[in-house]
Amino acid sequence: MSTDDKTIRVVIRGRVQGVSYRAWTKKQADRHGVAGWVRNLPDRTVEALFSGPTEAVDALLAACRRGPFAARVDGIEVSEEAEAAPSAGFNIRA
């Protein structure tokens, strides 16, 4: 991980489950070259970890503020993450 990289954890609120938000996020992450994961949480939010070049992570975060067509994003909480960044790839977690 270079100094131009960053890792963030995000929690997305709104109508984000049952609208293919996780699959859409994986597609966007792959498109931007961002590593990490995404999963549904029991409280109907979606949580994700994004890691990669700062510009790519910021672009993915901006895309997530809009979400896929059927989603309604009411808000996103973002925190800098100390967790070891995934080396490569983006996964959908159960």
Could you say which of 9, 39, 40, 91 is catalytic? 40
Q: How far apart are CA 39 and CA 5, in angstroms?
A: 22
Q: 38 with 89: CB under 8 angstroms? A: no
Respond yes or no: is residue 22 known to be catalytic.
yes
Q: How far apart are CA 94 and CA 41, in angstroms?
A: 9
Could you say which of 15, 22, 72, 91 is catalytic? 22
Respond yes or no: is residue 72 known to be catalytic.
no
Catalytic residue IDs: 22, 40
